[in-house]
Amino acid sequence: MGNEIADSVLVEKVQKGDKKAFDLLVIKYQNRVVNLVSRYVRDVTDAQDIAQEAFLKAYRALPNFRGDSAFYTWLYRIAINTAKNHVASRARRPQEVQTIGPDDETFDYDDALKEVETPENLLLTDEIQKTILNAIEELPDDLRLAITLREVEGLSYDEIAEAMTCPIGTVRSRIFRAREAIDVRLKPLLE
Amino acid sequence: MSDNKLERISALMDGELSSQERELAIDYVKDDLEVKQNWQRYHIIGDTMRNTLPSMVQPDLAEKLNKMLENEPAILAPKSTVNSNKKIASKDFTKPFIGLAIAASVTAVAIFGIQNTEQQTPSVDGSAPQVVSNEGGSLSNLEQSLATAIPKTVRTVKYEPVENTIEATRLNSYILNHNQFNSRMGVQGVSPNARLVGHESQR
Amino acid sequence: MLTAIAVQVEAADKENSATDARKILEKMSVAMHSLNYDGVFVYSSGNKLDSMRIIHKVDEQGEVERLISLTGSSREVVRDRQDVTCIYSDNQTVMVNKGAPNKFLPTNFPESIARISEHYRFAMVGDDRVAGRETHIVEVMPNDEHRYVYRLWVDKETNLMLKSAIVNMQEQILETVLFTQIDVPLEISNDLMTPMNAVDYSWHTNEKSHKQTDQVESKWNVGWLPVGFSMESNNQQVFAEKQQILEHLMYSDGLATVSLFIEAVEEGEAPMSGYVAQGAVNAFTISTDQCQVTVVGELPAKTIHQIAASVSLKSTLKK
């Protein structure tokens, strides 16, 4: 759906040499990826390291990304493989890479990354989460419903318009207003 | 920057811009640091709502990666397609009944992670949770699920948020599977079948 | 015919209400399976809203039911005595579930109502109009907090269910079916029962795709279920590719059903946990004793979770 179109436009830009477009993909998916790899490692900073490594691998492998699957699905597999490698090397098991799915990409990068420093600029999300949830609670019903249908249910504007019986333009502005209202609270925490 | 532009960024996130608008909006986010931060915060909001926010965030990850990639050449244009045989990437467990996963993996469902505010230890040990407390009522409503911290589980298990993940696919295919079995019973009148039909794919 | 007499019904004592409610439910069960009907209803579940048409035909051959989505992409389910066929036009897929087990035959209604009455109380809670018709509202209230409340609007004339709601203990409506229109014709032509053309779709039939072995003793012990749930089916499916076994256990208290899917976790695979809600249906997956347990059912999340957490390998099988 729409989301994937936006991704593929960004992917294409990166494939044409636009490094900055990659930033947008990183920002978009970094939390999901960290959250995903946290299942494999206990330590959050480890998870951050793995996520970083996964993004680097993704960047380097992007010329081979054919768009057969959604970008996130592809990234997801890279992240899982990276995490599994990490766990395996920790356990000093023989290097046997567990693969996911039949059309798994094989990665033959030298894992010797330049040296992954521990990320220093980490923010605890407790406060962030609370702030966002409070802000959501205080939203007017129509804004809250609109953003929930979008973010949680993954509905398109079209579908939301149908569900809320209002024009698409209204959906777009409601979702934006919801984000804006939450953002006012969130912004100070990230500065 | 005008709200109007930010509204476009918001729509860009949702994949709801025409291709022309999209180009403009992308340039706009890419080149303006402040707007990039908006882009970041808007995504943090979404991650929070879906409960896919890890216990820590690293706001400058993209920047950092950028530096690390500085010395690398910009990547090459895609090489010609190797083999575009489309295979359905799915693991065996996603098709408890063959074929069901195909429909299920594209199913729209309400998915909530469980709020686990007291702890942040992700679990890899898979120990079974013990439920200690209150049922939070309808989980079909975000507010509820966020507000009532249902079930107040367990220190060790972290419920994964499950959008677009193997878990989501798997759970959806099992729900479909369950509904199909159920539809044979027909005890509840039309409901089980309605659930089957209601199982609409998302494009 | 000018007289409209307002009859003031004294607060009927509970027992009467329960008996009446039960009678209505019995009649409803019979009506739902023995009448021809063709109606349109709105089905809402969580935040989703769909409109569907249901055509139910009964003749000497038995019952056939066809359910067609009127909103979104076209989908339909056709159920006859043997098969459940689901046709999804958006991905051009047809799924057929062959051979409904005999015990699922829906003809045992009075019996199942007796069973339901062991764990739920019935009550008449009022009258209402649905689809322009007068209805009784019957409430089916569980005796404990592990299940949901069902409210049914039953047509006074035909005894068909015209509306139903699944409600949690906090009075939140999780799922509703609401008829906006219904006809009860004497006959329904076979044309109306013909599913949409789907010959060139990809067909999946579950019958032979994997081995189902009924009546195998389960390796698993389900430590906890709400009172009154008993096993309805138990089958093991073996995936040929991997020799992996998936065990599917299904339990019911006569009204709500719950499925347990249990499979071994592959070596090196991370255990998973996750939770999904679809209206009244909750699903949890967790791992325990080297296996992945997935529990799905129309029961509150906490109940589903507790069931999932109670599964263990039978002690005789433990090393």
Which pLDDT score is estimated for A102? 31
Residue in the structure block whose two tokens are 């209803």: C41
Question: In this complex, do B177 and C242 lie within 8 Å of one another by their Cβ atoms?
Answer: no
Distance from C146 to chain B by nearest Cα, in Å?
Answer: 9
Higher-confidence position of A85 and B23: B23
Q: Which residue of A has its CA nearest to C49?
A: A163
As a whole number of angstroms, the distance between CA C269 and CA C262 comes to: 15
As a whole number of angstroms, the distance between CA C8 and CA C137 comes to: 17
Out of A84, A98, A153, the one facing C47 most closely (by C-beta) is A153
C136-142: long-range contacts (C-beta < 8 A, 24 or more apart)? Answer: C136/C24, C138/C21, C138/C24, C138/C25, C138/C28, C139/C21, C140/C25, C140/C116, C140/C255
Reduce the secondary structure of A128-184 to three states and give it as a string. HHHHHHHHHHHCCHHHHHHHHHHHCCCCCHHHHHHHHCCCHHHHHHHHHHHHHHHHH
* pLDDT > 60? residue C213: no
Out of C52, C150, C277, the one facing B197 most closely (by C-beta) is C52
Closest CA to C140 of C103, C112, C100: C112
Mean pLDDT computed over every residue of chain C: 78
As a whole number of angstroms, the distance between CA B23 and CA B28 comes to: 9
Which pLDDT score is estimated for C148? 92
Q: Which residue of A has its CA nearest to C271?
A: A39
Which pLDDT score is estimated for C46? 73
Question: Which residues in chain A touch residue C268, judged by CB atoms under 8 angstroms apart?
Answer: 84, 96, 98
Best C43, C44, C48 member to test A by mutation, with max A CBs in 10 Å, is C48
Out of B110, B128, B193, the one facing C77 most closely (by C-beta) is B193
Rounded to an integer, the average pLDDT of C176-195 is: 89
Mean pLDDT computed over every residue of chain A: 79
Which pLDDT score is estimated for B14? 93
Closest CA to B14 of A27, A33, A10, A176: A176
Residue A185 banded pLDDT, cuts 50, 70, 90: very high
* pLDDT > 80? residue A50: yes
* pLDDT > 80? residue C25: yes
Q: How many CB atoms lie within 10 A of CB B34?
A: 9
The HSE-up count of residue A163 (CA atoms within 13 Å, CB side) is 23
Question: In this complex, do C47 and A39 lie within 8 Å of one another by their Cβ atoms?
Answer: no
Chain centroid to CA C208: 25
Question: Which residues in chain A touch residue C43, judged by CB atoms under 8 angstroms apart?
Answer: none
As a whole number of angstroms, the distance between CA C130 and CA C120 comes to: 25
Instruction: Record the tokens describing residue C25, joined without a space.
Output: 């439910």
Rounded to an integer, the average pLDDT of C86-115 is: 61
Question: Which residues in chain A touch residue B84, judged by CB atoms under 8 angstroms apart?
Answer: 66, 68
Higher-confidence position of B153 and A184: A184
Best A29, A32, A84 member to test B by mutation, with max B CBs in 10 Å, is A32
Residue B156 banded pLDDT, cuts 50, 70, 90: very low
Residue in the structure block whose two tokens are 């098969």: C83
Give the least confident one: A121-135, A147-161, C6-20: C6-20
Question: Which residues in chain A touch residue B55, judged by CB atoms under 8 angstroms apart?
Answer: 38, 44, 124-126
Instruction: Record the tokens describing residue C314, joined without a space.
Output: 């039978």
Q: Which residue of B has its CA nearest to A172?
A: B11
Which pLDDT score is estimated for B34? 92
The HSE-up count of residue A26 (CA atoms within 13 Å, CB side) is 29
As a whole number of angstroms, the distance between CA C207 and CA C69 comes to: 26
Higher-confidence position of B84 and C86: C86
Question: In this complex, do A132 and B45 lie within 8 Å of one another by their Cβ atoms?
Answer: yes
Rounded to an integer, the average pLDDT of B132-140 is: 32
Distance from C110 to chain B by nearest Cα, in Å?
Answer: 11
Give the least confident one: B54-63, C17-26, C87-96, C248-257: C87-96
Chain centroid to CA A174: 23
Question: Which residues in chain A touch residue C270, judged by CB atoms under 8 angstroms apart?
Answer: 39-40
Q: Which residue of B has its CA nearest to A129?
A: B48
Rounded to an integer, the average pLDDT of C108-121 is: 75
Rounded to an integer, the average pLDDT of C111-120 is: 81
Q: Which SS3 state, helix, strand or coil, does residue C124 take?
A: strand
Which pLDDT score is estimated for C34? 84
Higher-confidence position of B124 and C234: C234
As a whole number of angstroms, the distance between CA C57 and CA C158 comes to: 15
Residue B59 banded pLDDT, cuts 50, 70, 90: confident
| Residue range B172-193, pLDDT digits in tens | 777 777 776 665 544 455 566 6
Closest CA to B115 of A189, C304, C280, A130: A130
Length of chain A: 191
| Residue range C222-267, pLDDT digits in tens | 889 999 898 877 777 655 444 566 788 888 888 888 989 887 766 5
Q: Which residue of A has its CA nearest to B92?
A: A101
Q: Which residues of C111-128 are buried (b: 16+ CB within 10 A; e: fewer)?
A: ebbebbbebbbbbbeeee
* pLDDT > 70? residue A160: yes
Question: In this complex, do C294 and B171 lie within 8 Å of one another by their Cβ atoms?
Answer: yes
Chain centroid to CA C236: 22
| Residue range C130-156, pLDDT digits in tens | 999 999 999 999 998 899 999 999 999
Rounded to an integer, the average pLDDT of C101-124 is: 66
Residue C66 dihedral angles phi and psi, to the nearest 5°: -130, 130
Rounded to an integer, the average pLDDT of C69-80 is: 82
* pLDDT > 60? residue A165: yes
| Residue range A72-112, pLDDT digits in tens | 888 888 888 888 878 777 664 443 333 333 333 333 323 33
Mutual angle of helices A168-190 and A157-164, in 10-degree steps? 110
Which pLDDT score is estimated for A3? 65
Which pLDDT score is estimated for C162? 92
The HSE-up count of residue C195 (CA atoms within 13 Å, CB side) is 24
Best B107, B121, B142, B193 member to test C by mutation, with max C CBs in 10 Å, is B193
Chain centroid to CA B175: 17
B178-181: long-range contacts (C-beta < 8 A, 24 or more apart)? Answer: B178/C250, B178/C257, B178/C259, B178/C281, B178/C283, B178/C296, B178/C297, B179/C281, B180/B97, B180/B100, B180/C84, B180/C86, B180/C95, B180/C97, B181/C97, B181/C233, B181/C248, B181/C250, B181/C257, B181/C259
Burial group, residue A63, by CB count within 10 angstroms (0-12, 13-18, 19+): middle
Length of chain C: 319
Distance from B77 to chain A by nearest Cα, in Å?
Answer: 5
In single-letter form, the type of residue at position C233 comes to S
**% of chain C exceeding 70 in pLDDT:** 77
**% of chain A exceeding 70 in pLDDT:** 81
As a whole number of angstroms, the distance between CA B118 and CA B149 comes to: 10
As a whole number of angstroms, the distance between CA C180 and CA C192 comes to: 20
Instruction: Record the tokens describing residue A187, joined without a space.
Output: 């912004």
| Residue range C167-182, pLDDT digits in tens | 887 788 888 889 999 9
Q: Which SS3 state, helix, strand or coil, does residue B50 take?
A: coil
As a whole number of angstroms, the distance between CA B40 and CA A140 comes to: 23
Give the least confident one: A130-144, B50-64, C78-92: C78-92
Q: Give C316's DSSP letter.
A: G
Mean pLDDT computed over every residue of chain B: 57
Which pLDDT score is estimated for C147? 92
Question: Which residues in chain A touch residue B147, judged by CB atoms under 8 angstroms apart?
Answer: 137
Tell how strand C84-88 and strand C75-79 pair up.
antiparallel
As a whole number of angstroms, the distance between CA C319 and CA C306 comes to: 25
Tell me the sheet residues that pair with C57. C64
Question: In this complex, do A156 and B16 lie within 8 Å of one another by their Cβ atoms?
Answer: yes
In single-letter form, the type of residue at position B18 comes to S
Question: In this complex, do A98 and C268 lie within 8 Å of one another by their Cβ atoms?
Answer: yes
Question: In this complex, do A183 and B38 lie within 8 Å of one another by their Cβ atoms?
Answer: yes
In the stretch 128-167 of chain B, residues with CB closer than 8 A to chain C read 128-131, 134-141, 144-145, 150-151, 153, 157-162, 165-167
Question: In this complex, do B55 and A32 lie within 8 Å of one another by their Cβ atoms?
Answer: no
| Residue range C249-259, pLDDT digits in tens | 888 888 888 98
* pLDDT > 70? residue C11: no
* pLDDT > 80? residue C273: no
Question: Which residues in chain B touch residue C198, judged by CB atoms under 8 angstroms apart?
Answer: none
Length of chain B: 203
Give the least confident one: B126-130, C25-29, C35-39, C219-223: B126-130
Question: Which residues lie closer than 8 Å to B60 by C-beta, 6 or more apart?
Answer: A121
Chains touching A, CB cut-off 8 Å, 3+ pairs: B, C
Whether A110 and A60 have beta carbons less than 8 Å apart is answered as: no
